[in-house]
């Protein structure tokens, strides 16, 4: 079951849609132009239903197969938002909006799912219902969660849900997946240290929050090196350190902040507990106090084993088993498709973007050559899961 010929026939159309979206990047929930384009395309394809405004600016389309006796409903999700990055690709279709660009390939994700929707609406060679989901605010806004809270799964009776993301470094025409964790949880912490300020010439009269904060930063690294099994995965990165604004004054407070990435819920709980314990105990040792604000962001993106195996089989039928890595290692970035996988069984797969610049890089560009593979994957997933 190679690339779908019909999809290959209009791959140039899909690439043109993608490049048009690339010219008009939009941020978080403010994807009104993109959502309108998506809705207009879906309506022109003859979908049975097109609904806008789900999760603020998300779009949902419904395609019913020629048969409906199975009662199965499968969701396919793509993300629409871009990033606050100034593009440096030099492409003729480069961003027309300063300071914004599609540096993560969401333009390609949306275009491939649009292409699959067009094909599925034309052929309807399946027994059940395909629900195409176009999500806003993946890049830090929790748009997946917002769509779920807006009734996405219940309203359309979605039973399984699948997602896909391009991945630089994976060859074009290849896929990567595993039956467990694909991406990490992405928590954030802010620690405010309160001491006693004073003149820098008389440090003995102060309780120095800067020295205290420095000791906390050093001690936080023991979570990875001394507290967590080395076979487990955890990243604790302190990325902010602010205190004072004068050379001769020891400020009364200091603030540090950073991120925690884990691949297991148990490790996530443990890391939070250790950050709180280390911050408060080290501060106390220095005579200061520490207040910890810990924000749980996206959860772990964890595939369901049966659905991951199914997704891998579909991919292998398109590109061959040798081009599907069923044990692809997880990465410590985050992805809010995690919320959908918490709500329903499903799987998240990587599609190769070839030897391109990395994601979130001003030189990155989605590879249009990946379009026939990705769109075919979506189409065959529906037809294989719900055979007519």
CA dist 317 to 233, 373, 376, 377, Å? Answer: 32, 11, 10, 9
Residues 129 and 29 occupy one common structural domain:
yes
pLDDT tens figures, 164-190: 999 999 999 999 999 999 999 999 999
Positions of the chain with pLDDT under 70: 1
Nearest CA among 119, 118, 58, 147 for reference residue 344: 147
Dihedral sign, CA of 372, 374, 378, 381?
positive
CA dist 277 to 240, 261, 284, Å? Answer: 20, 18, 11
Dihedral sign, CA of 18, 19, 24, 25?
positive
Domain end residue (candidates: 295, 320, 335): 295
Alpha helices in the chain (DSSP H): 5-9, 11-23, 32-45, 106-123, 143-149, 152-155, 209-220, 222, 265-285, 305-319, 337-343, 371-385
Residues 96 and 245 occupy one common structural domain:
no
Residues 161 and 203 occupy one common structural domain:
no
Q: Which two tokens stand for residue 59?
A: 């779009």
pLDDT of residue 67: 86
Residues 167 and 197 occupy one common structural domain:
no
Which contacts qualify for 235-240: CB closer than 8 Å, 24 or more apart?
Answer: 235/184, 235/259, 235/260, 235/261, 235/262, 235/332, 236/260, 236/271, 236/275, 237/261, 240/190
pLDDT tens figures, 52-93: 999 999 999 999 999 878 899 999 999 999 999 999 999 999
Strands 234-242 and 301-302: unpaired
d(CA 49, CA 372): 25
Nearest CA among 128, 121, 136, 111 for reference residue 49: 121
User: How crowded is residue 229: how many other Cβ atoms within 10 Å of its Cβ?
Assistant: 8
Q: How many domains does the chain have?
A: 2
Q: By residue range, what is the domain housing residue 63?
A: 5-183+300-385
Nearest CA among 113, 137, 139, 128 for reference residue 60: 113
Q: What is the pTM of this model?
A: 0.95
**Quick one: three-class SS letters along 94-147?**
CCCCCCCECCCCHHHHHHHHHHHHHHHHHHCCEECEEEEEEECCCCCCCHHHHH
User: How crowded is residue 249: how many other Cβ atoms within 10 Å of its Cβ?
Assistant: 13
Reduce the DSSP state of residue 280 to 3 states and report it.
Answer: helix
Residues 248 and 377 occupy one common structural domain:
no
User: How crowded is residue 163: how many other Cβ atoms within 10 Å of its Cβ?
Assistant: 28
Domain end residue (candidates: 274, 295, 316): 295
Task: Judge contact between 279 and 238, C-beta under 8 A.
Answer: no
Strands 73-79 and 160-167: parallel
Nearest CA among 18, 61, 81 for reference residue 335: 81
Task: Judge contact between 33 and 25, C-beta under 8 A.
Answer: no
Task: Judge contact between 180 and 327, C-beta under 8 A.
Answer: no
CATH code of 255's domain: 3.30.70.360
Task: Judge contact between 158 and 74, C-beta under 8 A.
Answer: yes
Residues 113 and 179 occupy one common structural domain:
yes
Residues 334 and 273 occupy one common structural domain:
no
Residues 47 and 156 occupy one common structural domain:
yes
Residues 154 and 57 occupy one common structural domain:
yes
pLDDT of residue 2: 85
CA dist 286 to 56, 207, 289, 290, 373, Å? Answer: 47, 7, 9, 11, 58
Residues 21 and 105 occupy one common structural domain:
yes
Residues 118 and 216 occupy one common structural domain:
no
Domain end residue (candidates: 295, 329, 348): 295
Residues 23 and 159 occupy one common structural domain:
yes
CATH code of 81's domain: 3.40.630.10
């Amino acid at each position: 079951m190679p690339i779908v010929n019909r999809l290959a026939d209009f791959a140039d159309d899909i690439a043109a849609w993608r490049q048009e979206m690339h010219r008009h990047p939009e941020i978080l929930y403010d994807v009104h132009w993109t959502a309108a384009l998506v809705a207009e395309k879906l309506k022109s394809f003859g979908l049975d239903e097109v609904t806008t405004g789900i999760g603020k600016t998300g779009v949902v389309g419904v395609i019913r197969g020629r048969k409906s006796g199975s009662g199965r409903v499968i969701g396919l999700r793509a993300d629409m938002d871009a990033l606050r990055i100034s593009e440096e690709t030099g492409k003729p279709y480069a961003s027309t909006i300063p300071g914004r660009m599609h540096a993560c390939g969401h333009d390609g994700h949306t275009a491939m799912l649009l292409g699959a929707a067009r094909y599925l609406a034309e052929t309807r060679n399946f027994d059940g219902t395909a629900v195409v989901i176009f999500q806003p605010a993946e890049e830090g806004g929790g748009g997946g969660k917002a769509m779920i809270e807006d009734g996405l799964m219940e309203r359309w009776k979605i039973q399984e849900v699948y997602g896909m993301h391009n991945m630089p470094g994976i060859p074009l025409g290849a896929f990567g997946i595993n039956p467990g964790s694909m991406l990490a949880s992405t928590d954030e912490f802010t620690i405010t240290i309160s001491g006693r300020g004073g003149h820098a010439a008389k440090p003995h009269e102060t309780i120095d929050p800067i020295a205290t904060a420095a000791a906390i930063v050093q001690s936080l690294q023991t979570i990875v090196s001394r507290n967590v099994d080395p076979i487990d995965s955890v990243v604790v990165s302190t990325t902010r350190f602010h205190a004072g604004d004068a050379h001769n004054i020891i400020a009364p407070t200091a603030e540090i902040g950073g991120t925690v990435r884990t691949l297991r819920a148990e490790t996530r709980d443990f890391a939070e507990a250790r950050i709180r314990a280390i911050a408060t105990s080290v501060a106390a040792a220095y005579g200061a106090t520490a207040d910890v604000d810990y924000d749980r962001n996206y959860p772990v993106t964890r595939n369901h084993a049966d659905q991951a195996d199914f997704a891998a089989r579909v991919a292998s039928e398109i590109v061959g088993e040798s081009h599907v890595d069923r044990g692809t290692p997880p990465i410590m970035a985050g992805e809010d498709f995690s919320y959908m996988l918490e709500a329903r069984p499903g799987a998240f797969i990587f599609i190769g973007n070839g030897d391109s610049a990395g994601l979130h890089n001003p030189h990155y560009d989605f590879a249009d050559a990946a379009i026939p593979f990705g769109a075919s994957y979506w189409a065959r997933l529906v037809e294989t899961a719900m055979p007519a």
